[in-house]
């Protein structure tokens, strides 16, 4: 990489520059992740370092993009993570990358803050990905509308996804405004699309070989477009270090071991959350509720979200581990159970086929899937330890549960959000927490004996 050394040295400085592109779309389901993964793999095949970020709360897309790019993928969200966190991650990435790709969420103007807000704040040129099946000149009209909607963003081009033929491409290209070139056309080919299920993409770990074939096919489809040269030749974006860079948080969890469930049933883990726990001194020990007969020796337990509903029978069959976790609960170990972890902590779970499976029974109640109806949105968990921002995303419900100790506070709606339960030192909720939002509260949640009343902002990771 030609200028890696110079940008590595800039770590001591307050800014770093790197070509960067924001991959956006007019709506969900246009193929943003498919295209972003193909771009990352195409450039990786050229031995380029590509750092990819995903806008908004998301556990599934980042792991797919990490496999495509060969680098970890972090979320960027101005509300949940905050500007300081986002600025720091982009600044760090710019010191090593040949190109930064940021994949947006939903439509580029949807939400508050939106993908466009993030792109505007950091000066990222946007490339629109649009599924053009069933239209031609109309695709150009939609792009023209996106270009003129705000004057603080720059749309650098269009990637036409699901393009039917060379003639189809020509019709779109000829109708586009001069300021927005057609950068590439992805063919209409089901073998390029990424497999999905009820909460989003299928987990990367479950279909690694299949994904590899799709990444390679996508990269090959884009290889002849000259797109790599266009992206790498873009004017570099300058990223500045976060103002008053925060020091590492105190080691409030030093000497404490946290057991973390991680397998196909429990996998919704932000790397940023794991990193923060370790920066605060915790030792993490991963275990599989599907496979391991015993809980690792630990001082606290984290049961994150995932897909327990797909593995109900195997979870129920691991009776020895159930007994171990119940003993930890009775011994008042701090336990955090998020979403899928909440379902696991209940008495029973009814899966999508209507089968009922015995769960841990730490918290009275029954979990059940509810078809396509679900709940999602940004919320703040109002915990006794302090507020922690996060989000909800589930298609299940819990009934027969005890009275909650509180509720999540929705981002922009006065109605109560997700319930928050306490039993002994178990905290259970449908909310997925973003730990760097409030390290003080998180340290307390996992049993830190003494946490100074430092400013939360000063401790953000």
Enzyme catalytic residues: 339
Place of tokens 């939903």: 106
> Does the bond joining 457 to the residue before it have cis omega, within 30 degrees of 0?
no
Q: Are 214 and 187 in contact (CB under 8 A)?
A: no
Q: Are 343 and 361 in contact (CB under 8 A)?
A: no
Q: Are 374 and 394 in contact (CB under 8 A)?
A: yes
Q: Are 293 and 335 in contact (CB under 8 A)?
A: no
**Rounded CA separation 64/247 (Å):** 31
CA distances from 194 to 147, 197, 213, 385, 443 (A): 28, 10, 11, 40, 37
Q: Is the dihedral of CA 353, 357, 359, 364 positive or negative?
A: positive
User: CB under 8 Å to 384, separation ≥6 — which residues?
Assistant: 405
User: CB under 8 Å to 437, separation ≥6 — which residues?
Assistant: 80, 81, 82, 388, 389, 390, 456, 460
């Amino acid at each position: 990489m030609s200028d890696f050394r110079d940008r590595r040295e800039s770590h001591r400085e307050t800014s770093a520059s790197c070509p960067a592109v924001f991959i956006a779309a007019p709506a969900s389901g246009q193929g943003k992740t498919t295209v972003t993964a193909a771009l990352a793999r195409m450039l990786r095949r050229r031995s380029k370092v590509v750092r990819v970020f995903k806008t908004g709360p998301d556990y599934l897309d980042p792991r797919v993009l990490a496999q495509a790019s060969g680098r970890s993928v972090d979320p960027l969200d101005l509300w949940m993570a905050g500007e300081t966190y986002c600025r720091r991650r982009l600044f760090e990435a710019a010191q090593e990358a040949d190109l930064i790709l940021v994949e947006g969420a939903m439509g580029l103007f949807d939400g508050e803050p939106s993908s466009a807000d993030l792109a505007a704040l950091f000066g990222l040129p946007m490339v629109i990905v649009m599924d053009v099946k069933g239209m031609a000149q109309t695709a150009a009209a939609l792009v023209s509308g996106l270009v003129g909607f705000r004057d603080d963003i720059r749309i650098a081009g269009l990637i036409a996804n699901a393009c039917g033929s060379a003639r189809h491409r020509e019709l779109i290209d000829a109708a586009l405004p001069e300021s927005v070139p057609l950068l590439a056309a992805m063919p209409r080919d089901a073998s390029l699309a990424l497999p999905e299920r009820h909460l989003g993409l299928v987990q990367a770990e479950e279909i690694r070989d299949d994904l590899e074939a799709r990444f390679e096919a996508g990269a090959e489809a884009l290889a002849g477009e000259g797109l790599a040269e266009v992206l790498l030749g873009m004017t570099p974006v300058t990223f500045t270090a976060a103002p008053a860079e925060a020091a590492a948080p105190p080691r409030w969890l030093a000497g404490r071991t946290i057991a973390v469930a991680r397998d196909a049933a429990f996998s919704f883990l932000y790397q940023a959350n794991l990193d923060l726990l370790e920066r605060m001194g915790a030792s993490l020990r991963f275990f599989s509720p599907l496979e391991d007969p015993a809980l690792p020796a630990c001082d606290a337990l984290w049961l994150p979200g995932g897909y327990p509903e797909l593995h109900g029978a195997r979870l129920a069959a691991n009776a020895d581990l159930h007994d171990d976790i119940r003993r930890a609960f009775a011994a008042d170990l701090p336990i955090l159970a998020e979403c899928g972890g909440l379902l696991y902590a209940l008495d029973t779970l009814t899966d999508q086929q209507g089968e009922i499976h015995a769960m841990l029974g730490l918290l009275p109640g029954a979990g059940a899937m509810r078809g396509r109806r679900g709940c999602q949105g940004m919320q703040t968990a109002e915990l006794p330890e302090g507020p922690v921002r996060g989000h909800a995303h589930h298609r299940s419900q819990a009934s027969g549960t005890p009275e909650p100790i509180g509720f999540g506070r929705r981002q922009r709606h006065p109605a109560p959000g997700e319930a928050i339960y306490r039993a002994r030192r178990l905290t259970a909720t449908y909310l997925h927490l973003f730990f760097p939002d409030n390290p003080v509260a998180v340290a307390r949640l996992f049993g830190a004996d003494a946490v100074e009343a430092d400013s939360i902002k000063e401790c953000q990771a």
